[in-house]
Amino acid sequence: MSDAKITQISAKDVNDWDFEADVVVAGYGIAGVSAAIEAARSGAEVLVLERSAGWGGAASMAGGFIYLGGGTPLQKALGFHDTPENMKAFMKAALGPGTDEDKIDVYCDESVDHYNWLLDAGVSFKESYWGQPGWEPPYDDGLMYSGGENAAPFCSLIPPAPRGHVPQMSTKRTGEQGGGYMLMKPLVETAEKLGVHAEYDLRVQSLVVDDAGRVVGVASRRYGKDVYAKARRGVVLAMGSFAYNEDMVRQNAPRIFGHPAASIEAHDGRAIQMGQALGAETAHMDATEVAFFCDPQLLVRGILVNARGQRYITEDTYPGRIGQATLFHQDNQAFLIIDEAAFDEGFASESATPELLLQPTWVGETTGDLEVEIGLPAGSLQSTVELYNRHAAEGSDPLLGKNPRWVKPLGTPIAAIDLRGRTGGFTLGGLRTDVDSRVLHVSGNPIPGLFAAGRCTSGVCAGGYASGTSLGDGSFFGRRAGVSAAQETNDHQVTASARRANPMPLG
């Protein structure tokens, strides 16, 4: 079996199975662990195959937002009113165009149940709300706005509610033991208590199918040796996105080519290609999240302008929306205009992220001087600042609708922070699945024995993004993948000669 070749393998060509279980899960991140738990709770023997030396994936290094709402106990305890209908309306408006409405509907309708499921699995949330702009709470607060729900244009159309739920952590160290780690750790412990067995350092390469076209296992590589795992009921793919596959990014999402962020090298698109080798359909392969690398505490206190000196988005919205607007519609050209007093205030904020507190690139005594220093068209920045200041003096922003809390005239001296090219993203598209996480063939029919969840699928995000939708979508539909795989029947399977999985490591 070649590492480079991605094709299906006939079960007739597998002479010996190294492992065997009812359900085989490929990947031990948020989608994989959720699938493993629910498959085990459904009575299945579960084997997880992970390419790295330990569990966690990208989820364990994430800030830990889980996008939940509709009236979770945490929202209610902190005095926020939310409904599934409001949550649906926001997600369909902000995560499109072209969202999978069936997925969003079930996700929102069962969001409170999913929150309670996480609690039952040992995930805890502190009853405290963080109301400052930022990528994530600086402390262990449990709730925060994470998608621009309280910013224009959404706040005037849909009653806003914070839906960024963050698992509580004792000592915050994002990237090591932050919210994502505190989400994964209790889930893995729950899986282990249920008898889920994991094998590490295995790179899943291909799907194994029988004569009827049913997926009956996976082929992997470990230390240069072929390893085969048989699935008596079903296989769940949970191997992450294609953000680190340069060829796939160039072909499908070229706008973020060369700008990976918030992802890991294991997100090589293999799961998607394995599904495609069986005729699986994909969706929204061009969709990407785009991070914007400047601290929100600075952004809200200034104005963002493009290469023509014009504002183009409200500065107090979700930074991911700013990143998409900048990269997709402004040719990655952006400058933050901010005065000295506002800069000092933002820099001193306890909510600021030190590595994103950028120093001014140019400083001028007047807007005209700054305009010349930056090299913007004559009069462009001056007219933009004059219009902004005229309305800011009255505490309003009729052009873009920034919250009056952050609207204040820009004074002097005035500076500009060069934000050109300060974006990076990850992919959102992948295998098309139904609400039960069955992988769909291009014909529209489910591929027998094959299920998927997480960033290797096209989930609730079809274009836009909100922090927490990856972990939320992955865990929610990972659960459904586990249940579906455990309930799968295989009429073509010969069980008389089936042997139990070998629990000992190979090599």
Phi, psi of 329 (to 5 degrees): -120, -10
Same-domain status, 298 and 333: yes
Alpha-helix runs per DSSP H in 280-378: 296-299, 319-329, 340-347, 367-374
Helix axes of 179-193 and 469-487: crossing angle, nearest 10 degrees: 10
- The DSSP annotation for 21-67 comes to EEEEEE--SHHHHHHHHHHHHTT--EEEE-SSSSS-TTGGGS---EE
Among candidate residues 421, 443, 467, the one where a domain is terminated: 421
What pTM does this model have? 0.94
Same-domain status, 402 and 452: no
Residue 380: count of CB within 10 angstroms of its CB: 17
Rounded CA-CA distance 32/505 in Å is 20
Q: Is the dihedral of CA 53, 55, 59, 65 positive or negative?
A: negative
The answer to whether the beta carbons of residues 357 and 295 sit under 8 Å apart is: yes
Asked if residue 147 is part of any domain, the answer here is yes
H or E segment at 418? strand 414-418
- Residues 167-206 have pLDDT tens digits of 998 665 555 567 788 899 999 999 999 999 999 999 999 9
Asked if residue 3 is part of any domain, the answer here is no
Asked if residue 506 is part of any domain, the answer here is no
Same-domain status, 402 and 309: yes
Vertex 99 angle, CA 98 and 100, to 5°: 120
User: In what side-by-side order are the strands of the sheet with 66-67?
Assistant: 66-67, 164-165, 143-144
Asked if residue 214 is part of any domain, the answer here is yes
What's the CATH code of the domain at 246?
3.50.50.60
In 3D space, the residue among 479, 480, 476 whose CA is nearest the CA of residue 108 turns out to be 476
Same-domain status, 268 and 344: no
Among candidate residues 403, 421, 439, the one where a domain is terminated: 421
pLDDT at 506: 32
Same-domain status, 148 and 272: no
Same-domain status, 323 and 416: yes
- Is it true that the peptide bond before 153 is cis, omega within 30 degrees of 0? yes
Rounded CA-CA distance 279/207 in Å is 12
Rounded CA-CA distance 355/363 in Å is 21
The answer to whether the beta carbons of residues 63 and 468 sit under 8 Å apart is: no
Among candidate residues 387, 421, 455, the one where a domain is terminated: 421
The answer to whether the beta carbons of residues 152 and 160 sit under 8 Å apart is: no
Rounded CA-CA distance 130/65 in Å is 13
The answer to whether the beta carbons of residues 62 and 180 sit under 8 Å apart is: yes
Rounded CA-CA distance 383/389 in Å is 10
**From first to last of its 507 residues, what are the pLDDT tens digits of the chain?**
444 578 999 999 999 999 999 999 999 999 999 999 999 999 999 999 999 988 988 887 787 899 999 999 999 999 999 999 999 999 999 999 999 999 999 999 999 999 999 999 999 999 999 999 988 888 889 999 999 999 999 999 999 999 999 999 866 555 556 778 889 999 999 999 999 999 999 999 999 999 999 999 999 999 999 999 999 999 999 999 999 999 999 999 999 998 766 677 889 999 999 999 999 999 999 999 999 999 999 999 999 999 999 999 999 999 999 999 999 999 999 999 999 999 999 999 988 888 899 999 999 999 999 999 999 999 999 999 999 999 999 999 999 999 999 999 999 999 999 999 999 999 999 999 999 999 999 999 999 999 999 999 999 999 999 999 999 999 999 999 999 999 997 543 433 333 333 433 333
Q: What are residue 165's DSSP bridge partners? A: 66, 143
Asked if residue 149 is part of any domain, the answer here is yes
- The DSSP annotation for 298-322 comes to HHTTSEEE-TTS-B-S-TTS-HHHH
Give the tokens for residue 204: 């899943």
Q: Which residue has the tokens 């809390």?
A: 405
Length of the chain: 507
Q: Is the dihedral of CA 445, 447, 452, 457 positive or negative?
A: negative
- Is it true that the peptide bond before 260 is cis, omega within 30 degrees of 0? no
Same-domain status, 327 and 399: yes
Q: Which residue has the tokens 């249940």?
A: 483
What's the CATH code of the domain at 305?
3.90.700.10
Asked if residue 430 is part of any domain, the answer here is yes
pLDDT at 490: 53
Same-domain status, 342 and 372: yes
Number of domains in the chain: 3
Rounded CA-CA distance 21/493 in Å is 13
- Is it true that the peptide bond before 413 is cis, omega within 30 degrees of 0? yes
Domain containing residue 101: 66-165
Same-domain status, 341 and 409: yes
- Residues 196-207 have pLDDT tens digits of 999 999 999 999
pLDDT at 309: 98
Asked if residue 504 is part of any domain, the answer here is no
Same-domain status, 412 and 317: yes
Same-domain status, 51 and 186: yes
Please compute, for residue 39, the number of CA atoms within 13 A of its CA located in the half-sphere on the CB side.
Answer: 38
Please compute, for residue 205, the number of CA atoms within 13 A of its CA located in the half-sphere on the CB side.
Answer: 19
Asked if residue 507 is part of any domain, the answer here is no
Same-domain status, 189 and 85: no
Q: Helix or strand or coil: residue 19?
A: strand
Residue 433, amino acid:
T
